[in-house]
Amino acid sequence: MTIFEALQHAMARLPGESPKLDAEVLLGFVLGQSRTYLYTWPERELTASQQSQLNELVMQRAQGVPVAYLVGKREFWSLPLQVNEHTLIPRPETELLVEQALERLPQAGRVLDLGTGTGAIALALASERPDAEVWAVDASQEALQVARANTDQLELSVRLIHSDWFAELGGQQFHLIVSNPPYIAEADPHLEQGDVRFEPLSALASGADGLADIRRIIGQAPGHLHPGGWLLFEHGYDQGNAVRELLRGAGFSAVETVQDYGGRDRVTLGQWGTHG
Ligand SMILES: C[S@@+](CC[C@H](N)C(=O)[O-])C[C@H]1O[C@@H](n2cnc3c(N)ncnc32)[C@H](O)[C@@H]1O
């Protein structure tokens, strides 16, 4: 079977919104080649073992397994990141949180990423700001292993800590705390759909209204923020109002919600105390 035929064959068996892209990524992965290669050498023959590996991957994808888990990687902020079934697959929307954090991080500032997963946010910040001191925590040891592998691979500096939010951070204080925490309501039917079905529930669901972790973090963050420091969250499109109220209620000022490129509420932030 040639590369051209393998692509056609895979596409025909793949469901979902992007069968062409999925087929290209999976075949590229099997051949260890870029997508461009597939169209430069369409007449090249696959070996029997490449064909059977592709068949196996296409079958798993047809059962819904996310492409990122099948190939073990996903790009975020132009950084190639390892992912596995213990980590959330980093989403492009989360780049908005990185942009907002970069705007507020002072020179040589200390920043904490709560619930780092693959390390996506912490590594994006470390890559942009080598002057910053970047810390990241996660409650999942397996996710931390992935974050550590990504940190080493990218040769960036992030201090990784196994912790239930701030529990293991002692009296550490930061200029900026950033988090894409679990924020989906436990009974939300989206948890049973698409790629999300295969992602760890502990990375996604947060109490009856999806706000349990955001509440806990807001309750504890003031003890870990320098005066004038910022707390920034990613959250669901319908949670902006609730998160603003929670931040104001806890005494944060300059509270605002930023929308993503689709015009949906996505990031809410606030400032603790005053510069001093
Ligand atoms: C939505 S995922 C975000 C992952 C990554 N920051 C990203 O944006 O791709 C939430 C992360 O929070 C972690 N987490 C959940 N509960 C936690 C807790 N109590 N303390 C620390 N981390 C927690 C999960 O293991 C998961 O990695």
CATH 1.10.8.10 domain span(s) along the chain: 3-63
Could you tell me if the CB of 206 is within 6 A of ligand 1?
A: no
Could you tell me if the CB of 119 is within 6 A of ligand 1?
A: no
Superfamily of domain covering 73-271: Vaccinia Virus protein VP39 (3.40.50.150)
Question: For a pocket test of ligand 1, which of 77, 98, 113, 116 has the largest count of ligand atoms closer than 8 A to its C-beta?
Answer: 116
- pLDDT given for residue 275 in this prediction: 44
Could you tell me if the CB of 236 is within 6 A of ligand 1?
A: no
- pLDDT given for residue 276 in this prediction: 39
Could you tell me if the CB of 6 is within 6 A of ligand 1?
A: no
Could you tell me if the CB of 138 is within 6 A of ligand 1?
A: yes
Quick one: average pLDDT of 207-233? 98
pLDDT digits (tens, 9 = 90+) for 15-67: 888 999 999 999 999 999 999 999 999 999 999 999 999 999 999 999 999 99
Atom of ligand 1 nearest to the CA of 204: 1
Q: Above pLDDT 90, what percent of the chain?
A: 96
Alpha-carbon distance 257 to 159, whole Å?
Answer: 29
CATH of span 3-63:
1.10.8.10
Could you tell me if the CB of 214 is within 6 A of ligand 1?
A: no
CATH 3.40.50.150 domain span(s) along the chain: 73-271
More confident residue, 16 or 267: 267
* CA 128 to centroid of ligand 1, rounded, Å: 22
- pLDDT given for residue 16 in this prediction: 82
Quick one: average pLDDT of 263-273? 97
* pLDDT tier at 230, thresholds 50, 70, 90: very high
* Protein residue with least CA distance to atom 27, ligand 1: 117
pLDDT digits (tens, 9 = 90+) for 98-151: 999 999 999 999 999 999 999 999 999 999 999 999 999 999 999 999 999 999
Question: For a pocket test of ligand 1, which of 69, 112, 140, 144 has the largest count of ligand atoms closer than 8 A to its C-beta?
Answer: 140
Atom of ligand 1 nearest to the CA of 181: 10
Could you tell me if the CB of 95 is within 6 A of ligand 1?
A: no
- pLDDT given for residue 161 in this prediction: 98
Could you tell me if the CB of 150 is within 6 A of ligand 1?
A: no
* Protein residue with least CA distance to atom 14, ligand 1: 115
